[in-house]
Structure 1
Amino acid sequence: MADLRAIEPGEGFFAGPLPRILAHRGLATDAPENTLLAFLSALSSGVTHLETDVHSSADGIAVISHDADLARTAGITGRVDELDFAELQKVDLGRGQTYPSLEETLLAFPEARFNIDLKSDAVVGPAVAAILSAAATDRVLVTSFDNARRLRAVRALPGVATSASAAPFAGALFAVKLGLVPLARRLLRDVQAVQVPERLRGVQVITARTVRLLKRAGVEVQVWTVNEPADMRRLLDLGVDGLITDRADLALLLRNERSGPA
């Protein structure tokens, strides 16, 4: 008989042990960030989740890049959305790497789970198309600081995992600080995770209490960007579910250390 159990959004993305280690832009200790080499380095260290960002090229291809321009990563002037993908592929990022497309990245690492930050309105359609073309909906999480942008992608990808954008999370944080868990649950009803800094504009976001109440509201709590082992330990002691980190290798060692012998 067929399994009639409802599949929860993000079931594939959220498979695996806690705490989750998300390699922020891959592992760039010996590779340019957000490149195929950085993703391979992260996966080779043993992590399963990759955090990345996408912009649209001038010809409508979802391109892996955190920045809107090429200055910091490539040392040249120009914007991602001003260049065709063929032109972006000619840009040297070092170590033989260039800007990959989202689709080729998803296809290159078919077992990896990807946390994808939609950096512009223009990239929503191309990112959705890339995820569908790679048949990767069940192993990605899509998010954006902009809630309308995030919702456009979620509606086009039934069953996809997603995390809270800035506005609904701000309301939910206010609710849990007042102890209003049912209100927080309503505000976060369409997401499976919150991905937040420990502090934001002078406000302490992550405390043992807020973590506990956010979990009661039905979401995982993942914190960015945590690179020091002492901070990783402290946050895990507070009960967070995931660390988004530039040092996924160190975070994985810490998780293994805390889990004890097999």
Structure 2
Amino acid sequence: MPGGAADLGLPYFAPARPRVIAHRGLALAAPENTLLAFAHALALGVVHLETDVHASADGVAMIAHDADLSRVAGRPQRVGDLTVAELARLDLGEAQHMPTLAEALEAFPDARFNIDLKSADAVAPAIEAIRAGRAEERVLLTSFSERRRRAALAQLPGVATSASGPRFAAALLASVVHGGPVVRAALRGLHAVQIPTRAIGLDTVSPARIRAFHAAGVEVHVWTINDEAEMRRLLALGVDGIVTDRADLALAVVGALE
């Protein structure tokens, strides 16, 4: 498979490609973004877990995708309205609670965590949890916000990171208008682009674009892909990773390639 960040020697990228990145764990028989969902994904042989972090009212990094609790717990409050103790008492189903980032890092010491920093107030507590867990080598930090991404990397230099929304948009437009050198400049200092198949009205994973991203030294991870035929198509194009709610299916597709 074409060279990307796996050639840079970062431990996060040490496992062989293509990567199956379990989006919020495996939530077929467990609530998303819970320790049980992560355990189910890892039991299948997944190495990389995608997850999200907000901050509690008392400044603890909590694993949660949404800013509020309406979808996952049927409550109107925001994650940031409740303390870590109050959030731990929520019943998310299957005897699961909302874990802290520190809990997840401790529970699964061999897993790689792909962490989306969802809010500005989550940056400092996420950094604290990563440092306390000595997990710098097994996390990738990202955010749709370039400001949040930069703030985190300033405190954890050398940690793996993927493009924010603005950085990727710049690289994608550069691939249309300018070509290789400007794409490389747009992606400098990054290790991956984690992208949908289309953005700003453009196909992000054409063969030419994948070549341009690889030439810039980054891996290409595509989200959120749950269809087996689409997984096979993307892997045939040369993407490095599939971000998926169906890690079970993706592992089977990757296994068939070996």
If the TM-score is normalised by the length of the shorter chain, which range does it land in? over 0.9
- Equivalent residues of 1:119, 1:144 under 8 A apart: yes
Question: What is the deviation of 1:174?
Answer: 1.2
Q: 1:73 maps to what in 2?
A: 72
Per the alignment, in what secondary structure is the counterpart of residue 13 of structure 1? helix
Count of residues paired in the alignment: 252
Q: 1:91 maps to what in 2?
A: 90
Q: 2:257 maps to what in 1?
A: 258
What amino acid does structure 1 have at the position aligned with 2:208?
R
Q: 1:5 maps to what in 2?
A: none
Does the alignment pair 1:58 with 2:54? no
What amino acid does structure 1 have at the position aligned with 2:230?
D
- Equivalent residues of 1:9, 1:161 under 8 A apart: no
Instruction: Give me the identity figure in percent.
Output: 55
In 2, the alpha carbon distance for the partners of 1:27 and 1:213 equals: 32
Q: 2:3 maps to what in 1?
A: none
Question: What is the deviation of 1:200?
Answer: 2.2
Does the alignment pair 1:34 with 2:38? no
Question: What is the deviation of 1:16?
Answer: 0.9
Deviations 1:80-118 (A, max 9, x none): 000000000110000000100000100100000000000
Per the alignment, in what secondary structure is the counterpart of residue 49 of structure 2? strand
- Equivalent residues of 1:26, 1:38 under 8 A apart: yes
Give the 5 Å matches for 1:137-152.
137-152=136-151
Q: 2:213 maps to what in 1?
A: 214
Q: 2:4 maps to what in 1?
A: none
- Equivalent residues of 1:172, 1:187 under 8 A apart: yes
Moved over 2 A (4+): 200-203
Per the alignment, in what secondary structure is the counterpart of residue 170 of structure 2? helix
Q: Which has the higher helix share?
A: 2
Q: 1:162 maps to what in 2?
A: 161
Q: Which runs of 5+ in 1 are unaligned?
A: 1-7
- Equivalent residues of 1:10, 1:139 under 8 A apart: no
Q: Which runs of 5+ in 2 are unaligned?
A: 1-6
In 2, the alpha carbon distance for the partners of 1:66 and 1:152 equals: 20
Distance 1:96 1:9, change over 3 A: farther
TM superposition score normalised by structure 2:
0.95
What amino acid does structure 2 have at the position aligned with 1:243?
I
In 2, the alpha carbon distance for the partners of 1:132 and 1:113 equals: 15
In 1, the alpha carbon distance for the partners of 2:246 and 2:238 equals: 20
- Equivalent residues of 1:10, 1:160 under 8 A apart: no
Per the alignment, in what secondary structure is the counterpart of residue 51 of structure 2? strand
- Equivalent residues of 1:179, 1:213 under 8 A apart: no
Q: 1:245 maps to what in 2?
A: 244
- Equivalent residues of 1:116, 1:143 under 8 A apart: yes
Distance 1:10 1:79, change over 3 A: farther
